Amino acid sequence: MDVKGRGSASPTLQADVVDDLDLRRGPWTVDEDLTLINYITTHGEGRWNSLARSAGLKRTGKSCRLRWLNYLRPDVRRGNITLEEQLLILELHSRWGNRWSKIAQFLPGRTDNEIKNYWRTRVQKHAKQLKCDVNSKQFKDTMRYLWMPRLVERIQAAAATAATATTTASSQTLSAATTGTTNSTYNPYYNNNMEVENGNMLMNPAPIMNNNDFGGSQVTQSYTPENSSTGASSDSFGTQVSPVSELTDIYSTVPNQDYYQPSQISYSDCITSPSGLYPQGLDYTQVMEPSNPWIQGGDTLDNLWNVENMMFLQQQLNSDSM
C-alpha cells in the first residue's frame, strides 16, 4: 500500500494508519529479505505495491523497492569506495550537484543512496572542517585543484605499485583474479554478478545464486541485516586499484555519452599535477588547519592529506610568495 492522496501530508498519514495498521517498518529481517528475493526471482520486479501484497510482506511497496534496489539486488556492489570511485563522485558531483541517481549510473553496482551517504558523511564533513559551504566556490575549487589531482596521483602510484607486484607475483595475481578476490564485500545472498578485475567492473549477464536452496529457505549463512553493513566502510582502501588508463574506460562506457562533456571538466584536468593550480582566494590557513581531518588522516580521503601533503602545500605557498 503506497501513498494515497499525494500532495498532502495528513491524508497520506491517515491512509497509512487506517489501511495499514499491521504494516511493518524499520530494519528488515532475514525472513523478509528471503521472501522478497524469492518472489522477485520467480515473478520479477516492478509493480511494487502489488508485489508487496502478493509476496505476503507486511511492507509498503516503496519499502520493498528500496530494500531490493539498495540492498538485495544481485548486482549491488558493497564495500569500499575505491579511489577511482571517489574521483568519479567528486567529478560528477561538481557537474551535476546532488543528482545522486544520475551519478550512480556511472558507478556500476553503487546505489544513489550509497553515494549520497558517502557524500554526506565524508565530503560534507570536510567542508564543515574547512568552515565553508560544500557548494561554495571555495570548496569546489579545493576539490578540483587539490583533492582530485591528489586522488589521481594516488591512483597512479597505486597502479605503479600494482604493476610491479604483478610482474613479480603474476601467479598469485592470476589466482586471486580467478577466484574473484577483492576487498569488497558482497550481497550476502548472492554471488555478486559484478567482478572487479584490475579495477575494471565487469557485469555478468545473470545473477548467480549463492545459496542453491532459496525455495526451501535453507539458509545456513549467519546473517543479520544489522551485521550485513559492517565492514562496508570506505575508510580503508586496500589493493583495489587500477591503472589510470583504465579509469578513462569508466568515462568511455558511460550510459549516455551526452552527459560527458570533456570541454567542461575533463579527466585530464584531474591528472594534472596540482602544482600551480591553486584557485584564487582559497584560504590555505583553513586547509592547513591542524584540526582539519583531511590533514590529520583517518579515512582515505583524509589520508590524502598527510605530512607529505602539508610540506608540499607549504612549499607551494612559499614559492608563490617569492
Partner DNA sequence: AAAGTCCACAACCGCGGTTGT
Partner DNA sequence: TACAACCGCGGTTGTGGACTT
Q: Which residues bind DNA (CB under 7 A)?
A: 1-9, 12-13, 24-28, 46-50, 59-63, 65-67, 70-71, 78, 98-102, 112-114, 116-118, 120-122, 125, 225-230, 232-235, 299
Cβ of residue 258: shortest distance to DNA, in angstroms? 17
The residue among 49 and 316 lying less far from DNA, judged by its C-beta, is: 49
CA dihedral 23, 29, 33, 34 (to 10 degrees): -110
Residue type, 304: L
The residue among 59 and 154 lying less far from DNA, judged by its C-beta, is: 59
Cβ of residue 220: shortest distance to DNA, in angstroms? 21
Distance, in Å, from the CA atom of 204 to the CA atom of 57, rounded to the nearest integer, reads 30
**The C-alpha cell of 159 is what?**
597502479
The residue among 60 and 242 lying less far from DNA, judged by its C-beta, is: 60
The residue among 244 and 301 lying less far from DNA, judged by its C-beta, is: 301
Cβ of residue 81: shortest distance to DNA, in angstroms? 8
Residue type, 296: Q
Concatenated DSSP letters of 277-314: -PPTT--HHHHT-TT-HHHH--SHHHHTSSHHHHHHHH
The residue among 183 and 316 lying less far from DNA, judged by its C-beta, is: 183
Cβ of residue 230: shortest distance to DNA, in angstroms? 6
**The C-alpha cell of 318 is what?**
612559499
Concatenated DSSP letters of 16-49: HHHH-TT---SSPPHHHHHHHHHHHHHH-S--HH
**The C-alpha cell of 245 is what?**
588508463
Cβ of residue 277: shortest distance to DNA, in angstroms? 27
